[in-house]
Chains A and B, each alone.
Chain A
Amino acid sequence: MIEELEDDFSPEVMISLRDLRVSYGEREILHGVSFDVMRGETMVILGGSGSGKSTLLRTLVGLEKPSSGEVILRGKNIATASAEDMDEIRKKLGMSFQGSALFGSMTVGENVALPLREHTKLEDSTIEIMLRLKLEQVGLAGFEDYMPSELSGGMKKRAAVARALAMDPEILFFDEPSAGLDPIIAAGIDQLILELKRAFKMTIIVVTHELASAFLIADRMVLIDKGNVEAIGTVEEMRNSTQPRLRQFLDRVPEPEVAREMDYLQMLTKQSGHSRGATAKRSA
């Protein structure tokens, strides 16, 4: 099956998910997710809290092992890749974490230089030039000697992007790029993503629930809900779709059970009517 897919692998398909299932212990988080991401495309993964979108992203970069199904990245199935193969694949990936995940004990420059120092035999002077270039690309020229703790939230995000860009990745992943940022700074990060897309024709995967940002940067979107793909399509298709779950998400319609105060109160009274054991179970 894998062989077949690898033969079929067209250079246009960058990432291919086939019936991907991921579980934490007994609990299955993703129940068979399948879609493709094309080269040079920006794919936004939409989904609410607990929808499984972060798990999906972690699986794509190899931080979680699929329990079944396939994740084909650049023609290799990362579900079955050896540690060496995985390292080779990862050198072509860049990941910007939600909390930026810069190493607190190193300067911004050392953070960006780390992948270069680990994986290349470049001279220090060359690395110095490269890290300056990367920082310039994200609008942080001159900040190489700052410690991460001295940067603002938006600057940390930019520094993390510079580090993700260090190895000139083919695929760039963003986990909630605008989380915790004010609208102006968040717009700046969106702008940065757009620039990277235009300048480097990079394949970009963004996980977010910020709709405005999603519609601005995406070529295509996929909505993940309760571990399933609910909708997938271009920005236009998504905007005009009538798929109920997607409409609810895009039109920001709250879940019915907690929407009306009376219902909520009723729910609470029903709950208190139960025995103690039942309530404890629910809260657990």
Chain B
Amino acid sequence: MEWLDHLSLGLSVALSLQNLGYCFLGCLLGTLIGVLPGIGPVPTIAMLLPITYVLPPEAGLIMLAGIYYGAQYGGSTTAILVALPGETSSVVSVLDGYQMARAGRAGAALAIAALGSFFAGCVATVLLAAFAPPLAQVAFKFGPAEYFSLMVLGLLAAVVMASGSLVKAVAMTILGLALGMIGTDVNSGMPRFDLGFLKLQDGLDFAVVAMGIFGLAEIMANLEQRERRVQVTDKVGPLYPSRREFRESWPASVRGTFLGSILGILPGGGAVLSSFASYTLEKKMARDPGRFGRGHPAGLAGPESANNAAAQTSFIPLLTLGIPGNAVTALMLGAMIIHDVQPGPRVMSAHPDVFWGLVVSMWVGNLMLVVLNLPLIGVWVRLLKLPYRVLFPAILVFCSIGVYSLDNSLFDVWMLAFFGAAGYLWTRLGCESAPLLLGLVLGQMMEENFRRALLLSRGDFTTFLTRPVSLSLLIVAAGLLLLIAVPVIRRKRDEAFVEE
């Protein structure tokens, strides 16, 4: 049993005292920012990237991953208690979770969410361990043409799943790819688009861009809205779900887990989409759909399990193909590159300790989160009362210092302000930031594979269409585009995102 060896290697890495500590720290931070509205996992991971420079790669990645899935737990806590989703992925949990809390079942709702998430985390970890190696084997057979087509598919799928205008999202992706061209050309050693700045010859740092377009731009967007007074439910009630609540929620958890696991693997899917999909599924399957929105446990258990499963399986394409599916995994890809772990199918063989350590740490982290979250609910509730006027200056400090310490360069601080302004501007124009970040991270890789594919084919563009794997990837990509262009489906998609 080869995978048993892998899991034991993973256990030995993940259970080392140091990594347990960083996993704990990541989960704690993740829960914290999940609870706090107005700051999400993307800017947090970007802010903490510079700090992980001093850590060994596995410790750094374990901590950053912990932030991501920790945020899923934290976000649901606030969704249930105060109808204020800390993260977009827990928006659906408000519907039935908050109603349960109002009926005096807050404790049970929190327990259902936590246990459902934990179950999903366990299953997703096993899936990750089982599916990553064969997928990496497939990826080994990929040439540059296949890789290029895979990236086209990945970027397009991410765009199709995103809300809003398709054309704008594609354009933002290409803008990101173009921004990725800034810096020294790997092949000729020629600096490109450096505008005379020596610093730009190293390329744009994606952490700076991410902090600008997610961190600063979000602060500005939040400050425009008046601060909402938070009504905190003080009575949490017993933590144990009743027999009936348990019976109604576990099948939903199981379905949510599998739905989330599948959607998480798809690029662009991730946690948000899967929680919505799971809610819809539960409502369709229920015998009494009228109870949904009025505190049905299944309406909470399904989406909570789904978003956690998806948060974890979204690491599969990152770890096996080196293709990130959403903004968080894009940042993780950057973190791996910083630590000299080249993302892609070779991670598993070249850095088995990092790979399996990360996988097992996700399971350990999920266990920690259950243990951490249920008893500490009182603390999280109190944190909710932290006013934004205390929180946002702190975020400003973390962003500015984080950016500066990346390279001890003031230029990066100016770039932070620049991308903050740019991010603010384009969200005003209805353009999303996440596709740009994906493009920025993939830009150089995409150019390199495009170049090599055409070098091998001596400039024959049909190489992308004559190689069967590449062709099928492109057909799927074209199919996605067609699908979205069909008016009926397009309307459905718009409807699905309206609820968001």
On whether the two chains bind one another, the answer is: no
